[in-house]
């Protein structure tokens, strides 16, 4: 059974994991098209990505949605149904945190967020996968296939679909292998890359 095997490898992230997982996310996304668009200068990117991911990590932690491995070499940030529908106060607080962390660079993060919100499905409760990565030296070794199946299995058992936006062709290909399909039009950033919205309907668990 997938849960029996992965229960020994996967666990929920905790506040104590934040420094390690922040570094992991920043290193893994350093060459991602989305990160390059937000922070064009490599030195700026290296400095700002940990600060940006700290905000996203804290958001998922507050919703009990951080999954990692026992070795902290992979991470998946998720949000449960309804968590992406922020009140005006919650949105203002999130904007404040990004501004405090990133300064003027927060404007691009907010711009991406507005485009994502406009495309985000609203007609059906679902789980949202915001970011996933594996340590750069372990990519293409199969380690990245642990976290997503673990969470997908739980969503299937709850009858929950899953939504994500792939920020690279490789990410979209990996999502397709997990049963995701394209959902609506690509999200095109001004003079930048595109995000591909993808959806996975729940499957019957036997």
In a domain, 47, yes or no: yes
In a domain, 190, yes or no: yes
Q: How far apart are CA 168 and CA 165, in angstroms?
A: 9
Place 206 in a pLDDT band, splitting at 50, 70 and 90: low
In a domain, 129, yes or no: yes
In a domain, 205, yes or no: no
Q: Which domain holds residue 33?
A: 2-200
Q: What is the pLDDT of residues 2-25, one digit of tens each?
A: 445 666 789 999 999 999 999 999
Q: Is 137 helix (H, G, I), strand (E, B) or coil?
A: helix
* pLDDT top residue among 180 and 138: 180
Q: How far apart are CA 165 and CA 17, in angstroms?
A: 25
In a domain, 206, yes or no: no
* Residue 173 Cα distances to 74, 157, 168, angstroms: 18, 24, 9
Q: Is the pLDDT of residue 83 over 70?
A: yes
Number of domains making up the chain: 1
In a domain, 137, yes or no: yes
Count of helices and strands (H, E) across the chain:
8, 8
Concatenated DSSP letters for 25-54?
A: HHHHTTT-HHHHHH--SHHHHHHHHHHHHH
In a domain, 114, yes or no: yes
CATH, residue 166: 3.40.630.30
Tell the burial category of 174 from Cβ atoms under 10 Å away from its Cβ (0-12, 13-18, 19+).
middle
């Amino acid at each position: 059974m997938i849960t029996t095997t992965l229960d020994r490898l996967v666990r929920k992230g905790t506040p104590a994991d934040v420094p390690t997982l922040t570094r992991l996310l920043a290193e893994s996304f350093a060459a991602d098209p989305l990160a390059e668009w937000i922070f064009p200068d490599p030195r700026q990117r290296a400095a700002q990505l940990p600060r940006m991911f700290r905000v996203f990590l804290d958001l998922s932690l507050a919703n009990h949605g951080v999954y990692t491995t026992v070795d902290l070499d992979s991470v998946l940030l998720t949000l449960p149904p309804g968590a992406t529908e922020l009140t005006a106060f919650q949105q203002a607080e999130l904007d404040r945190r990004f501004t405090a962390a990133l300064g003027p660079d927060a404007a691009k993060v907010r711009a991406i967020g507005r485009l994502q919100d406009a495309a985000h499905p609203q007609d059906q409760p679902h789980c949202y996968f915001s970011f996933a990565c594996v340590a750069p030296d372990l990519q293409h070794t199969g380690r990245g296939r642990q976290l997503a199946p673990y969470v997908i299995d739980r969503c299937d058992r709850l009858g929950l679909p899953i939504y994500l936006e792939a920020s690279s062709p490789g990410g979209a290909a990996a999502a397709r292998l997990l049963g995701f399909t394209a959902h609506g039009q690509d999200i095109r950033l001004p003079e930048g890359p595109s995000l591909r919205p993808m959806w996975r309907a729940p499957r019957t668990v036997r």
